[in-house]
Amino acid sequence: MYKVNKNFLKLPGSYLFSTIARKIREYQEAHPDEEVIRLGIGDVTQPLAPAIVDALHAAVDEMASAESFHGYAPDLGYEFLRELIAREDYQARGCDIAPDEIFVSDGAKCDSANIQELFSQDNRIAVCDPVYPVYVDSNVMAGRTGNYDPETGTWSDVIYMPCTEENGFVPELSPYDPDIIYLCFPNNPTGGVMTKDQLQRWVDYANKNSAVIIYDAAYEAYITEADIPHSIYECKGAQYCAIELRSFSKNAGFTGVRLAYTVVPKALGFYSSSIGNASLHDMWARRHGTKYNGAPYIIQKAGAAVYSDAGKAQLKEQVAYYMNNARIIKEGLTDAGYKCTGGVNAPYIWLKTPDGMTSWEFFDYLLDTAHVVGTPGSGFGPAGEGYFRLTAFGSKENTERAIERISKI
Ligand code: PLP
């Protein structure tokens, strides 16, 4: 008789977005004439930029001809894209990253969930609290998290590093000696960032303690301030301790197109006489080669267009469009007396709920009175309680109307 992976059964239901959807549905049934504005989702809404659409069309035409048809893509990514990424995203910033340290994939969600396969069961993970839930859930599936406490929504073997108003939404160096440290900056959901000095301290800590940092830089394109690092490899010694995840979803509107990459430096790993050469680069290459058959040629060509002059200019405008929404939200809410952070280097605004309301109480209040939907902070971890996430990914018109409504209440 087959046996199941019991770790899956330990996972609590994914209540956050299903509860939000149910509450909106019930509200709309009871108030069919009210128009609900959604500022809760983390999905982009602007259409693909023309340079990307042109590249997609051209690649489809190539696929339609016997001379230029492409079958399976190289499982680590086409050279033309890996070279562009290495040059434009890293070498141009002074980071010594080579094309063969880049692994192209179809999403940072899968990469961030899959990367834990490289590590043995007995590693301790540390995550920011609040946290993008994939990091924790993928480790639960692998049995690396201990027991669930439904009261706090936490796992006994996971080190939660609170990111609060007091520490500026930047985690403090963990006293618990984690082996694997997940950092996401600019942060989802808080919109917080680390300065280069702060990140350097984490890199030094990881190198000193032989830990690995998994650095999720999915929102790198939204950085506007000069002292905020775009990549962890801007820090000295990061090639010995860090894996970086990047996505084309938020900088280029690829959420429905699917393209991402992971950087695993060749310097990352160690030699031990008992197990031999443990190169994380070689292990990830092996995993990719075995379990993945490459992102589609058409999509990788579209990815290359992101780095063209036209692509860069159009995407700069697209990011600026969302960041203008972020400014509208942040300024409007601040004027209305709310306390909020984020929205300067990230498309997320993290709002402190007023009058000691819980995150869900504020959700209900906002839906009832302003007919605006956001995401309760408590859904991202215990330190998210008393906070609320609004996103800049809507249209300008809806963003303005939503903030007008909130200001009136
Ligand atoms: N990482 C973070 C922090 C995210 O917020 C998201 C999506 O919202 C992802 C990764 C997923 O990116 P992708 O669309 O490439 O799977």
Same domain, yes or no, for 60 and 13?
Answer: no
**1 lies in some domain:** no
The residue behind tokens 């899968």 is 110
**387: its two tokens:** 């906070």
**294: its two tokens:** 């490459």
Surface-to-core class of residue 14, CB atoms within 10 Å of its CB (0-12 exposed, 13-18 middle, 19+ buried) = exposed
The residue behind tokens 């049995």 is 143
**137: its two tokens:** 């859930």
Domain boundary among 308, 323, 356: 308
Best residue among 247, 257, 380 to mutate for probing ligand 1's pocket (most ligand atoms within 8 Å of CB) is 247
Cα separation of 171 and 271, whole Å?
31
Best residue among 16, 128, 188 to mutate for probing ligand 1's pocket (most ligand atoms within 8 Å of CB) is 188
Q: What are phi and psi of 211, to 5 degrees?
A: -105, 165
Q: Are 322 and 298 in contact (CB under 8 A)?
A: no
**229 lies in some domain:** yes
Q: What is the domain-level CATH number for residue 379?
A: 3.90.1150.10
Question: Which parts of the chain sit beneath pLDDT 70?
Answer: none
Q: Which residues contact 339 (CB under 8 A, 6 or more apart)?
A: 351, 352
What secondary structure letter does DSSP report for 169?
T
46 ligand 1 Cβ < 6 A: no
Residue 144 CA, ligand 1 centroid: distance in Å:
22
**393 lies in some domain:** yes
184 ligand 1 Cβ < 6 A: yes
pLDDT of residue 42: 85
Residue 87 CA, ligand 1 centroid: distance in Å:
23
Cα separation of 168 and 302, whole Å?
37
**332 lies in some domain:** yes
pLDDT of residue 57: 98
255 ligand 1 Cβ < 6 A: yes
Task: For ligand 1, atom 6, name the residue with the nearest CA.
Answer: 109
Best residue among 111, 222, 250, 261 to mutate for probing ligand 1's pocket (most ligand atoms within 8 Å of CB) is 250
Cα separation of 78 and 301, whole Å?
9
Same domain, yes or no, for 30 and 102?
Answer: no
pLDDT of residue 51: 98
Domain boundary among 293, 308, 323: 308
Domain boundary among 308, 331, 354: 308
Cα separation of 49 and 204, whole Å?
39
182 ligand 1 Cβ < 6 A: no
Same domain, yes or no, for 270 and 318?
Answer: no
Cα separation of 380 and 16, whole Å?
9
Task: For ligand 1, atom 11, name the residue with the nearest CA.
Answer: 109
Please report, for residues 100, 183, 307, 308, 386, the alpha-carbon distance to residue 301 in angstroms, rounded to integers and kept in the order given: 18, 30, 10, 11, 44
Same domain, yes or no, for 285 and 323?
Answer: no
Same domain, yes or no, for 142 and 152?
Answer: yes
Same domain, yes or no, for 97 and 226?
Answer: yes
Domains identified in the chain, total number = 2
Same domain, yes or no, for 97 and 64?
Answer: yes
User: Left (φ > 0), alpha (ψ -120 to 50) or beta: where does 345 sit?
Assistant: alpha
**77 lies in some domain:** yes
Task: For ligand 1, atom 3, name the residue with the nearest CA.
Answer: 188
Q: Are 309 and 143 in contact (CB under 8 A)?
A: no
Cα separation of 161 and 172, whole Å?
7
pLDDT of residue 175: 87
Best residue among 132, 193, 219, 380 to mutate for probing ligand 1's pocket (most ligand atoms within 8 Å of CB) is 132
Among residues 392, 382, 381, the alpha carbon closest in space to that of 340 is found at 392
Please report, for residues 165, 390, 397, the alpha-carbon distance to residue 338 in angstroms, rounded to integers and kept in the order given: 14, 13, 21
Number of C-beta neighbours around residue 394 at 10 A: 23
359 ligand 1 Cβ < 6 A: no
Same domain, yes or no, for 304 and 314?
Answer: no
**364 lies in some domain:** yes
Per residue in 318-365, pLDDT (tens digit) is 999 999 999 999 999 999 999 999 999 999 999 999 999 999 999 999
326 ligand 1 Cβ < 6 A: no
**Going along 46-187, which residue ranges are E strands?**
102-105, 125-129, 148-149, 154-155, 159-162, 180-184
Q: Are 39 and 372 in contact (CB under 8 A)?
A: yes
What secondary structure letter does DSSP report for 227?
T
Q: What is the domain-level CATH number for residue 278?
A: 3.40.640.10
Same domain, yes or no, for 331 and 249?
Answer: no
Same domain, yes or no, for 172 and 209?
Answer: yes
pLDDT of residue 15: 76
Cα separation of 15 and 19, whole Å?
6
Task: For ligand 1, atom 8, name the residue with the nearest CA.
Answer: 42
Same domain, yes or no, for 179 and 140?
Answer: yes
Residue 321 CA, ligand 1 centroid: distance in Å:
20
pLDDT of residue 111: 98
* Domain interval for residue 186: 53-308
What secondary structure letter does DSSP report for 316?
H
Same domain, yes or no, for 166 and 244?
Answer: yes
